[in-house]
Amino acid sequence: MTNLEFTPLVFGISAVAGCLGALTGLGGGVVVTPALTLLLGVDIRYAIGASLVSVIATSSGAAAAFVREGYSNIRLGMFLEIATTLGALLGAFLATRTPTAVLSVIFGLVLLHAAWQSSRGHSQDEKSQKPDALAQRLQLNGSYPSAAGPREYQVGHVKTGFSLMFGAGTLSGLLGIGSGALKVIAMDQAMHVPFKVSTTTSNFMIGVTAAASAGIYLSRGYIEPGLAMPVMLGVLAGSVLGARQLIGARVRVLRWIFAGVVGVMAVEMIVTGVQGKL
Amino acid sequence: MTAPINRWTDRRLEVVISRLLRTGVLISATVVLLGGICFLSRHGQELPEYRVFHGTPKIYRTFAGVVENAGPSNCPAVIQLGLLLLILTPVARVGFSLAGFALEHDRTYVALTLMVLGILIYSLAGPH
């Protein structure tokens, strides 16, 4: 297969991944790497380098649409980015020392979690709690627009959330993914931030987190221009298309399809990792 | 009564930042696309070799190497330049937030933002 055949193929796969990622809100990065390694036999280190770059593109490209809605909390995002960027540095360093078979198995486990998360959807319950002193000192509490005017919310368990974010950053740097699902869990479930605020703030943080590991990936030679080019352009084009289709799409059916695809990939990644083929 | 003012400025800051991010993505995607067309027109018949990891050639691993080599005679360096612009986009975002918090005289957040910026600069320019 020549470059003239390989590039459009990678572009197509990445576009489908980006589109599905935008429709389900899980991001395209998590599907691109297993697709490249399992279908095309690309070394997982080149794949995660290309995937990480595409994560920055989708996160930054989507920011404008999210900001218009007025949900994201930039103070909360900035504070938590200290944890995610430190984690991302650690993850990127670990990635260069971890055998690819182990990376493959960890990736499979993350995919299993994504499949489960995707099939489940989320509950949108009301949250109220006692104020957290650190949240007040850092002005993390905010409000978001609702049908009945601005609605105030309180941020809780700041230290727990901060630690979870460090973990999310480490995983992001280790596997070249946005780890948006974990960031949302840290905010939505641990810190009791409203779901919409969690997802938009998470999107805001993903780009900065990925940039922190990108520097290390670059100096270690993980970012290969010939491969990263179709991946980045494909995921970006796919996610723009996916975001446009979001209204009116049958998200329920898509979520199940996505969960199925990701589940199969998860098993494949774990099996190839255990067999030491990657 | 500084809180409502802060929140209002935060909102404006967000809008400016989101435009900055989209512009950054558009510019970098354009550069990557041009580099890609150039790459395929010159190396289209060559075979891609990504099955075995060798690491990208040294000149594509540093800002200086990429900037020096990017041009019509080195298409992969043009792609890499676009990718570097993309990586710098969130860094610029953090820089803008820093300016915004400084305008709000919010010392805590100036300090927190400086920490994030420091980590990013270490990753992109530090010795590792």
pLDDT tens, residue by residue, A192-246: 888 888 888 888 899 999 999 999 999 999 999 999 999 999 999 998 887 776 5
Do the domain assignments include residue B7?
Answer: no
Q: Does A112 touch chain B (CB under 8 A)?
A: no
A85:B6 CB<8 A: no
CB-nearest partner of B21 from A4, A64, A79: A64
Report the percentage of chain A scoring pLDDT > 70. Answer: 91
Specify the amino acid at residue B86.
L
Do the domain assignments include residue B6?
Answer: no
Do the domain assignments include residue B27?
Answer: yes
C-alpha triplet B118, B76, A100: angle, nearest 5°: 65
What's the structural domain count of chain A? 1
- Residue scoring higher pLDDT (B22 or B76): B76
A132–chain B nearest CA distance, Å:
17
What are the beta bridge partners of residue A142?
A153
What are the beta bridge partners of residue A143?
A152
pTM: 0.90
A35–chain B nearest CA distance, Å:
14
A179–chain B nearest CA distance, Å:
16
Q: Does A142 touch chain B (CB under 8 A)?
A: yes
Report the percentage of chain B scoring pLDDT > 70. Answer: 91
Orientation of helix A3-24 relative to helix B3-43, angle to 10°: 160
Do the domain assignments include residue B3?
Answer: no
Q: In which domain, by residue range, is A152 found? A: 3-275
Q: Does A215 touch chain B (CB under 8 A)?
A: yes
What phi and psi, each to the nearest 5 degrees, are found at residue B102?
A: -65, -40
Do the domain assignments include residue B116?
Answer: yes
Q: Which residue of A has its CA nearest to B49?
A: A42
Which residues from chain A sit within 8 angstroms of residue B115, using beta carbons?
82
- Residue A117 pLDDT greater than 60, yes or no: yes
Find residues 68-87 of chain A whose CB sits inside 8 Å of chain B. 68, 70, 72, 74-75, 78-79, 81-82, 85-86
Do the domain assignments include residue B2?
Answer: no
What's the structural domain count of chain B? 1
Q: SS in 3 state form for A97-112?
A: CCCHHHHHHHHHHHHH
Report the percentage of chain A scoring pLDDT > 90. Answer: 49
When the pLDDT of each residue in chain A is averaged and rounded to a whole number, the result is: 87
- Residue A123 pLDDT greater than 90, yes or no: no
Tally A–B CB contacts below 8 A. 204
A120–chain B nearest CA distance, Å:
31
C-alpha triplet B67, B71, B74: angle, nearest 5°: 95
Q: Give the Cα separation of A168 and A172 in Å (integer).
A: 6
What is the ipTM, given to two decimal places?
Answer: 0.90
Q: In which domain, by residue range, is B87 found? A: 19-43+55-125
With bands split at pLDDT 50, 70 and 90, how would you rate the model's confidence at B2?
very low
A211:B90 CB<8 A: yes
- Residue B93 pLDDT greater than 60, yes or no: yes
What are the beta bridge partners of residue A152?
A143
Do the domain assignments include residue B8?
Answer: no
Q: In this predicted structure, what is the pLDDT of residue A231?
A: 97
A214:B87 CB<8 A: yes
Tens-place pLDDT, residues B24-61: 999 999 999 999 999 999 999 999 989 999 999 999 99
A89:B50 CB<8 A: no
What single-letter DSSP state applies at residue A73? -
- Residue A131 pLDDT greater than 90, yes or no: no
Count of helices and strands (H, E) across chain B: 4, 0
- Residue A1 pLDDT greater than 90, yes or no: no
Q: Are A58 and A18 in contact (CB under 8 A)?
A: yes
Largest CA distance in chain A: 61
What phi and psi, each to the nearest 5 degrees, are found at residue A144?
A: -140, 155
Choose among A79, A115, A74, A120: nearest CA to A269. Answer: A115
Q: Are A36 and A260 in contact (CB under 8 A)?
A: no
* Highest mean pLDDT, choosing among A139-148, A237-246, B59-68: B59-68
A140-145 long-range CB contacts below 8 Å, 24 or more apart? Answer: A140/A73, A140/A75, A140/A76, A140/A79, A142/A73, A142/A75, A142/A76, A142/A197, A142/B7, A143/B7, A144/A70, A144/A71, A144/A194, A144/A196, A144/A197, A145/A69, A145/A70, A145/A71
- Residue scoring higher pLDDT (A196 or A173): A173
Which residues from chain A sit within 8 angstroms of residue B18, using beta carbons?
63-64, 66-68
Which residues from chain A sit within 8 angstroms of residue B123, using beta carbons?
85, 88-89, 92, 211-216
